[in-house]
Copies of this chain bind each other. A is one copy, B any other.
Amino acid sequence: MTNRKLLTEYVSAFTHSLVFSGVSDAVISPGSRSTPLAYACMKQEGLAVHRQIDERSAGYYALGLAKASGKPVMLLCTSGTAAANFFPAIVEAYYARVPLLVVTADRPHELREVGAPQAINQINLFGAHVKWSADLPMPEEDNRLDFLSRHLHRSVASAKTEPKGPVHLNVPFREPLRIDFEQSYESKGEVMHFVGESALSAQAEGFLLETLELERGLLVVGEMPEPLPAVFWDFAEKLQWPILADPLSNLRANTAKQHQHLIIDSYDALLKNESFKSAIQPEAVIRIGPQPVSKPLTAFLAAVKPKIYAVMDESPMMRDAQSVVTHHLQASAKNLWQLPLGQQKESAYLAEWQKGSMLFWQLADEHCETELDEGVLAKAFFGELDKCNLVIGSSMPIRDVDTYFRTTDKDILMYANRGANGIDGVVSTAFGVQAANKRHTYLYIGDLSFLHDMNGLIASRLQETDMTIVVMNNDGGGIFSYLPQSEEERYFEALFGTPTGLKFEDAARMYDTEYAAVETKQQLIDALRTEKHKSVKIIEVFTDRANNTKTHRKLWNRLNEELGK
């Protein structure tokens, strides 16, 4: 066999095994060393290829795609610093538990660590932030394709096993790098894969059932990969506990009207109030998903230290930053709603939460009639959404959603990068999310975060998309105005505000997107309702950092007046 034949056979087996294992998307950045695998991806039936020139953005694009599709995504780049650019997205995927198959092309052994160009030490390149890493052999005369298919099986299985996460394969190629496009490939057999599901012991079930009988109980739901099934709602209606629903729980939208009374979506505001907090202490808390975004909720639970704080988390790393969890049920959350729970009676505790919630939304509505700040604009924006994805930036945007996104039966799927909460890569994550389910996607993002990943827009030049980006431009690091540092004026603008004076109209022109600049609620609503003719629309909302902090506090003061200090 010629070298080209062996190479073709190797990369064909590679992509074939991937598709067999359930991978249907590959994100590729241009490069030379990765040529054989890039060709094989283009050729492979059942594999859609997405392209992005900036590898950092490519990583986050793959992350969004994997997150929204629920399937592992292949991420391919050439050798050298290209691979190092994947690192931020890999770290995020590791903590957010998103399955990625990261494939880095490499030089053969004789070109490693000898000063050859674009050759860096790629062995275990991503350290502790991948679940598994392997250095594959080169295509060779005695191609062990059976071994290759099993290693790919293990890679994908590992990425998909809870807690899900990224896996790294390093693949060396020797020149020449061209494959034979006519050569056919027939697999000699792949590994069939069956995965067992985690089930709780009778003892654990007994503990949960006993806990669920308590009246003053809270069900806290953190990020969920998709909307919960109908059986969850049967369970929740029997339980009659208030459900504190994080923005990413997928419970604040797509929730039928008859179930909405169970959802408490205003806890972030209510738990800033001392009277409310002392009146509302729970006996027990059960949490599924990671810790919610809300700092007031976290602080509340840390202060109360409930006698029972049970977390259902499939990983030994149960995510308990306050050291208050008392019971760790290391199993799938679905074990909870499959419990044989009897119908509980109507709960006064739930009613207390509902009363607080009603009050908050009444005050918030009034506030939004008379004031103008980022929160007010955010609430108006959320009111316009339906049948779409909403990708939410870190820092202020996720907090705006937490405060102002009221539970609805409209069809909105929400996503954010909460593994490491970085402001980086958010634009690309949004494009990846859009590519997964092809729905119209809204990205709600701050100006620094948008600027950080403006290269995410390159994706829109290389594949179809349907995106509206709402950039809250307060010219710098808005969130820092809420931190204690802001009391110290010295160096504040230099180190934290970092105003760049940049506006994004020119970025919109460069990427040939639609653009609107708005300052008022009505302008924002008009911009959102104007029919979109291009694949991307950018709406830049100009707000004032100092004013945001001030009027934001007005609402909390009103709430305090009503609830008592």
Whether, in the assembled complex, A360 has its beta carbon less than 8 Å from a beta carbon of chain B, the answer is no
Instruction: Check if A291 is an interface residue, CB within 8 A of chain B.
Output: yes
The answer to whether A118 touches B498, judged by C-beta atoms less than 8 angstroms apart, is no
Specify which of B94, B115, B500 is in contact with A53 (CB 8 Å cutoff): B500
Query: What is the CA–CA distance of A483 and B178 in the complex, to the nearest angstrom?
Result: 11
User: Residue A504 at the B interface, CB < 8 A?
Assistant: yes
Contact B129 A127 (CB under 8 A): no
Tell me, yes or no, whether A393 is within 8 Å of chain B by CB: no
A120 within 8 A of B: yes
How many angstroms from the CA of A319 to the CA of B84 in the assembled complex? 21
User: What's the Cα separation between A121 and B129 when bound, in Å?
Assistant: 8
**Is A279 located at the chain interface by the 8 A CB criterion?**
no
Do residues B88 and A32 form an inter-chain contact, with CB atoms below 8 A?
Answer: no
* Shortest Cβ distance from A512 into B: residue: B501
Stretch at the interface among A9-17, A369-377, A416-424, A464-472: A416-424
Q: Across the interface, do B452 and A455 meet the contact criterion of CB distance under 8 Å?
A: yes
Q: Does A506 contact B (CB under 8 A)?
A: yes
A377 vs chain B, min Cβ distance (A): 23
A28: chain B residues within 8 A (beta carbon):
495
- The 8 Å CB contact of A42, one of B80, B118, B491, is B491
A142 within 8 A of B: no
Contacts of A452 in B (CB 8 A): 53-54, 455
Taking CB atoms, residues of chain B closer than 8 Å to A501 are: 461
A462 close to B (CB within 8 Å): yes
Beyond A80-B420, A80-B422, A452-B455: 11 further Cβ-contacts under 8 Å?
A30-B480, A32-B485, A35-B485, A35-B496, A51-B494, A53-B448, A53-B498, A55-B424, A115-B317, A124-B127, A178-B485
A175 to B485, CA, bound (A): 11
Q: Given A115-B291, A480-B32, A506-B506, are A498 and B462 neighbors across the interface (CB < 8 Å)? A: yes
Chain B interface: which of A106-114, A206-214, A231-239, A345-353?
A: A106-114
List 6 A-B residue pairs with CB atoms under 8 Å apart, sorted by A's residue number: A35-B495, A53-B498, A94-B120, A111-B321, A178-B487, A458-B502
User: Which residues of A from 27 to 61 have beta carbons under 8 Å from B?
Assistant: 28, 30, 32, 35, 38-39, 42, 49, 51, 53-56
Q: How far is the CB of A563 from chain B (nearest CB, A)?
A: 27
How many chain A residues have a CB neighbour from B under 8 Å?
Answer: 93
Question: A462: which of B115, B125, B487, B500 is its contact (CB, 8 Å)?
Answer: B500
Q: Is the CB of B500 within 8 A of A510?
A: no
Task: Check A115/B80 contact, CB under 8 A, given A484-B178, A490-B181.
Answer: no
Neighbouring B residues of A117 by C-beta, 8 Å: 321, 418, 420-421
User: Which 6 A-B pairs rank lowest in CB-CB distance, beginning with the nearest?
Assistant: A115-B319, A506-B510, A81-B422, A116-B321, A84-B88, A87-B87
Is A323 among interface residues, defined by CB-CB distance under 8 A? yes
Which of B92, B111, B124, B510 has a CB less than 8 Å from the CB of A507?
Answer: B510
Q: Does A91 contact B (CB under 8 A)?
A: yes
Residue A177 at the chain B interface, CB threshold 8 Å? yes
Query: CB of A1 within 8 A of chain B?
Result: no
- Asked if A533 is an interface residue, CB under 8 A from chain B, the answer is no
A185 CB-CB contact with B under 8 Å: no
A75 touches B (CB below 8 Å)? no
B-side contacts of A458, CB under 8 Å: 451, 500, 502
Taking CB atoms, residues of chain B closer than 8 Å to A39 are 491, 495
Q: In the complex, which residues of chain B have a beta carbon less than 8 angstroms from the beta carbon of A506?
A: 506-507, 509-510
Chain B residues closer than 8 Å to A114, beta-carbon distance:
317, 319-321, 323
A422 to B418, CA, bound (A): 30
